[in-house]
Structure formats: C-alpha cells, structure tokens
A and B are shown apart, each in its own frame.
Chain A
C-alpha cells in the first residue's frame, strides 16, 4: 500500500470511541430511503411478503455460513461465505423493509433495548413466525448437497428477483435490482459445480444424485404460490412464484441435460393440511437452526454488538 496511508496504528491515539468498533450507534440500513408503501397495498400484507423473501435469504445464509472452514478447499470456502454474505445483506434490507411497512411485525423487546428492528425480527421470532421455504432450512449434508441446494434455491430466486425489479414498491424493486447481479453469480457457481460433480468420478456423481434425490421433494415449494404472494402479484408489488415455473424448469433442465442427469421423479414434501414454510409450518431442522442462531441475542436483549 502506498505511503500516504502510513502505519495501521496511526489512528489509535486520539479521535472518539467510535473508531474501536462498529459502535457509532444505531444504523438504519434504510436511512433516508422512502419506505412509504405504494398506494392500495395493505402494509401488513406487504410486511409479511417482505418477511417471506427476507426469511428465505436469512435462513439460507445461515446454512451457507455453517460451511465456513468446512469446504473442500479455501476457494470454495470463501465462495460459500461470500454467497452467505450477499444473502444476509438481502435479508437485512428485506426485514428492515418489513419493519418499516408495518412495525407490528417486530417482536417487543425490553424498553431501551438497542436491538434494531431487523435484528429483532431475525433473533426474537419463534419458528412459527418464520415464512421461509423449507428448502432453505434443512440440515447441511456433504458438498454435493450444498451445490444442489444452491442450484435449486438460486434458480428460483434469480427468476423471482428479475421480475421483482418492476415492483411498485420502490424498496423491493431496488433490493431486487441489486440482488439479480449477486444471485447470477450464485447460480452460475452452483451450476458449474453440478456439472463438475456429475462428470467427475463415480463417487462424486453418486453423491450428487443422492443429494438431488433428497432435496427434490422441497423444490416445488419454490414455485408454488401462497395466497398472499398471489394477491401482492396482482397488486403489482410481488411476484407469483407459480408464474416462474416454466422458466425455472428450463434452467434446471439445461443443467440436468448437460450433466446427463434425469429430472428426479419424487413427490413434493407434504405440508400440514396443505400448509408449508410460507405459512410458518416448518421441519424440525428450523427449530434447531434458530436455537443456535438466536441463543446469544436472546440471552442479552439489551446487548450492544
């Protein structure tokens, strides 16, 4: 680095306390952004919709970050952490947008708690209040498992974000426009590894097919419409996931055909009385994930981080 930056220790004497940590106080990720809901949209519905998209990103990010230090090599370890970070950023904005649309979705915390609304949503909701698809929450497996999960997840999310750019909600449209650029890289990464594992050794192909078989029952939920998604799509704010089915199938078909892998024939994982992740009905895996993700924040609701 050139000399004008001097020693890294130069700044340690003098200045104010804010230089020691990210501690200059509350920092709103939507500071200065107009969060007025578009006309004709119920703020509570908009907030729930933002939770759906935000929880998908948050829970997927948490599963990806569990890979940190466990990937087969350093490059892939960094790649998984980068993707986790992109999704965490999307989650942060979407949960903040949910809270701004309807503050009633934010769990109540002790008076004077410094926890910002998006963190309260991430760390102080119970499993039944999470609206993510179940594909995001199931426990991690081997490397083939994360490749397949990311391929299925990012293919649907990229198609969704690409359409969400036209949302009448300017915050959702902006998050989507940025997200498209990021998730394009995620999907390409997963697609390339899918191809590599399929054409690799007998063992890599066996593991890939086994992961695909295990995760496929969770794929249809990505392109199934919850009534709320349908109604917000009609209002020009959201995207109906069912309308993405053809495009998602085409992309997956392209990867499967290049990899010489047949489209799996497994029935979708049933919900409870037809209700699934979007309704807050999850697998046991989510409770375990949340227990680990939330325990420290919940033990210190007045904590500053």
Chain B
C-alpha cells in the first residue's frame, strides 16, 4: 500500500483510501479480461495482472491504475491486453484508466492459478510444471528436453517433444505416442 501511495503522489494524485468499493469493482472488472492468445484464462488466472488501484487527483477526478507484467519480453499481446482493460473498465464506469508495466520481478509460469491450470487442461492444453529456480550460470541442456508432461487428452506419460517453440512464445509442442495426438504445453519459465 505504501508503494502505491508513493507512486500516486509522484503522479500528482492522492491515494484514495475511501474508494475501497470502487477499487473492488475495478479489480473485478480488470480481473475478467481474458488473455487474447489463451482466452480460457483471465489475466488474473495467468498471473499478469499485478495490481489495481483507484487514485484521485486534486480535482477529484478518479483514475484506475492497472499494473500488468509481460509473460515474455516480446509478448505481442500486451497492446491488446491494455486495450481490453481500458474497454472493460470503461464499461464498468471508469473512464480514466492508466495501464502501467511492471518488469520486476519477471513473470513466472508458477503464477498461473489453480483455476487457470484447470482451464488449460479443460481446453486440451498441458499446464506447466514448477519453474526452474536458477542461481548462477545456467547449465546447458543438450539431452532430451526437461521432464515430458503427460498427455492432457489421454493421460499417458509417453509423450515426446516436437519443438520448444510453439504458436505463441509461452508454449511448446508435444506429441503423445499413445493416442498420437499433438498437444501444446505451457512452458515452465
């Protein structure tokens, strides 16, 4: 809360502690925006929505400040997420919306919620396992890929990596050697 207040003051606005109700409504509206590339997930499920605050400037005008973080540095969906947030909050009665980028700490697939993981599985995608925790120099992995995920369709553990780069930056391609179906796996990062 202190950080939010400092940021608000730096922007010439005061944090509005009485606006809990507005904040709750804004957070609810922002939380319903879906990821444009994986629309079974809301931005909350994906873990890219990092904060929703309501601020008032000296004239009492209310601004919703939404903080989001990119999944990958080059994520082309950021522009769409930003537009969708502005529209969704506009529909909820908030005309002034400011979308800020948060780069630190970097997004991790560990931030995908349980609800999000279930939604991925329901859509035939494989949810990520625990992200690697690294300190110091990164070890080279030349052998077969990291742990192979089970097939989201038939549950078989006999799956094979096709490519670590899929249709979007956050997904890898696998194939199940039992049911022979290809599937997408959200990468652990």
Interface residues of chain A, those whose CB is within 8 Å of chain B, are 1-2, 5, 15-16, 18-19, 22, 24, 27-33, 75-76, 78-79, 81-83, 85-90, 92-93, 158-159, 162, 170-171, 173-175, 177-182, 184-185, 187-189, 191-192, 195, 247, 251, 254-255, 258
Contact = CB atoms under 8 A, between A and B. Distances in A.
B140 A24 contact: no
Contacts of A162: 136-138
B61 interface: no
Given A89-B75, A177-B104, A178-B106, 18 more contacts: A1-B123, A18-B83, A24-B83, A29-B78, A32-B65, A33-B102, A33-B103, A79-B164, A79-B165, A82-B165, A86-B73, A88-B74, A92-B73, A171-B103, A178-B73, A182-B189, A187-B138, A191-B140
B35 to A, nearest CB: 12
A32 B100 contact: yes
28 contacts: A5-B39, A16-B87, A18-B87, A22-B80, A24-B82, A27-B82, A31-B98, A32-B102, A79-B164, A81-B165, A85-B74, A87-B74, A89-B72, A89-B73, A90-B74, A92-B73, A93-B73, A158-B138, A162-B137, A162-B138, A170-B104, A174-B105, A177-B104, A185-B164, A187-B140, A188-B142, A247-B137, A254-B140
Contact of A251 (B86, B140, B173): B140
B100 A31 contact: yes
B74 A89 contact: yes
Given A27-B79, A191-B140, A2 B40 contact: yes
Contacts of B34: 5
B157 interface: no
Interface of B: 7, 34, 39-40, 65, 67, 70, 72-76, 78-80, 82-83, 86-87, 98-107, 123, 134, 136-138, 140-142, 162-167, 169, 173, 187, 189
Contacts of B40: 1-2
Nearest to B67: A32
Contacts of A171: 103
A175 B73 CA distance: 8
A1 B39 CA distance: 8
A124 B163 CA distance: 36
Contact of B163 (A1, A32, A75, A187): A75
B56 to A, nearest CB: 18
B73 A191 contact: no
Contacts of B187: 185
B142 A174 contact: no
Contacts of A85: 72, 74, 76, 169
Contacts of B79: 22, 24, 27
A248 to B, nearest CB: 10
A81 B167 CA distance: 10
Give the residue among B82, B83, B166 with the most A Cβ atoms within 10 A: B83
Contact of B137 (A22, A81, A159): A159
Contacts of B80: 22
Nearest to A192: B142
A18 B85 CA distance: 12
Interface residues of A, dominant DSSP: helix
A2 B31 CA distance: 19
A29 B102 CA distance: 10
Contact of A173 (B98, B99, B104): B104
A85 B140 CA distance: 22
A19 B73 contact: no
Contacts of A191: 140-142
Contacts of A89: 70, 72-75
B19 to A, nearest CB: 19
A116 B163 CA distance: 35
A83 B165 contact: yes
A129 B107 CA distance: 33
Contact of B164 (A1, A189, A195): A189
Contacts of A179: 73
Contacts of A27: 79, 82
B106 A174 contact: yes
Given A24-B86, A162-B137, A188-B142, A33 B101 contact: yes
A255 B100 CA distance: 42
A204 B102 CA distance: 44
Contacts of A81: 165
Contacts of B98: 31-32
Contacts of A254: 140, 142
